[in-house]
Amino acid sequence: MSEREYIKSLVKGADLYRKQGLYEEAKEKYLEALSYVSAHNDLSDRTLIKELVEKRIHMVDADIAEVEGADDTPELTEEKQNLIKDLFSFSGTRENTAFEGAVALMKFGQYKRAREEFETLLAEGIRPLASAKNILACSLFLDQAESAIDRLGQWNARSLLTNQELLHLRDFLQTSLIERGIEAELPGSEMIPAGVNRPGKPIEEGDPEITSVTFEFEEGELKERTEELKVSFQFGDVVSVVAPSSRKDLIRILQPGARFLRMGFYSPIAFFRGTGRVTGKTLIKHGPKKGDYLFDISFDQTG
């Protein structure tokens, strides 16, 4: 792909986002195109291309300002939600495609629809632990803590999940509620019926469950500093972390395409080092973290 074709693909992708009302995502693509143009001084018609991209950025800024002037960001139409599912579902199998689509809805703040999708996946036995965990997370993003607690209680009385999975979900929900300043009594291990266990079913499909990551910055405004962020979602070798809107310095560094050679990955039972690359950035538009940014990080283990 030539430089001109690459820029054209970025702008076309941004135009599609803007057409569907995904203005923040469109702006990120336009900025990526502008950064690429600015970095290639030998590009023919560089000044003209730069002006055209900047014009599009001004237009999408106006769209964003109009949306932010409303009381709240409305939930997208079913047609737009379906588009998000299609755009961000890449796997060949039906099960993985369905899961990726639900995760995409969640990342774009469509928590109610995402929760419905994860409920369907759980009922079909597709990635049960991850689906159940995301159901709880969606309820919390919707400020429906009671719904999350009730759902956990219902799972305790059924045979969809193993004892180990139920205990893991209980710990996850308890930690999430504490972070939100909510005190609640949750169903404990003594409430899990003996018949719940599904013999031979591992807690996950082999992916290490990452709970937090660290970045060791070797250059830039955060040089020689280490930052730790909690993992909100995980899908295989891609984790999603949230950076608060107040951390402008961190947000400036965690741009799509940025690579990090010194990262740490923490799970409940292990720690390993690796490298990572930012593959996505999304503005959170609903819930307690509204205004913060969600970053997708693909990682490789090095030791």
Q: Is residue 205 part of a domain?
A: no
Residues counted in the chain: 303
Judge if 228 and 291 occupy the same domain.
Answer: yes
Do 57 and 91 sit in the same domain of this protein?
no
- 171, 196, 221 - which closes a domain: 196
Same domain flag for 111 and 216: no
Same domain as 182, residue 82? yes
Q: Which of 162, 196, 230 is the last residue of a domain?
A: 196
* 283 and 263 share one domain: yes
According to the model, what pLDDT value does residue 303 have? 58
Residue 207 lies in a domain: no
Q: What is the pLDDT of residue 195?
A: 40
Average pLDDT, the chain: 80
> Quick one: average pLDDT of 216-239?
85
Q: Which domain holds residue 294?
A: 212-301
pLDDT computed for residue 118 by the predictor: 93
Residue 286 lies in a domain: yes
Mean pLDDT across 145-166? 85
190-204: per-residue pLDDT in tens? 544 444 343 333 344
Q: Model confidence over 31-41: pLDDT tens digits?
A: 888 888 888 88
Q: What is the pLDDT of residues 242-276, one digit of tens each?
A: 899 999 999 999 988 889 999 999 876 678 889 99
* 159 and 267 share one domain: no
Total number of domains constituting the chain: 3
Written as one string, the DSSP assignment of the chain is: --HHHHHHHHHHHHHHHHHTT-HHHHHHHHHHHHHHHHH-TT-TTHHHHHHHHHHHHHHHHHHHHHHHTSSSPPPPPHHHHHHHHHHT---SSHHHHHHHHHHHHHHTT-HHHHHHHHHHHHHTTSSHHHHHHHHHHHHHHTT-HHHHHHHHHHHHTSSSS-HHHHHHHHHHHHHHHHHTT---PPP-GGGS-GGG--TT--SSSS-----EEEEE--SGGGTT-EEEEEEEEEETTEEEEEE-TT-HHHHHHS-TT-EEEEEEEE-SS-EEEEEEEEEEEEE--SSTTTT-EEEEEEEEE--
**87 shares its domain with 163:** yes
pLDDT digits (tens, 9 = 90+) for 42-96: 887 788 888 888 888 888 877 776 655 544 445 777 887 777 777 666 656 777 7
In this prediction, residue 287 carries a pLDDT of 61
Q: What is the pLDDT of residue 18?
A: 80
Question: What is the percent of the chain where pLDDT is above 90?
Answer: 16
Residue 151 within a domain:
yes
The pLDDT tens digits for 157-191 are 877 788 878 888 888 888 788 777 787 888 764 54
The per-residue pLDDT for 67 is 55
CATH number of 223's domain? 2.40.10.220
Of the pLDDT bands very low, low, confident and very high (cuts 50, 70, 90), residue 205 is very low
More confident residue, 21 or 229: 229
Domain contains 87: yes
For range 115-120, the mean pLDDT:
94
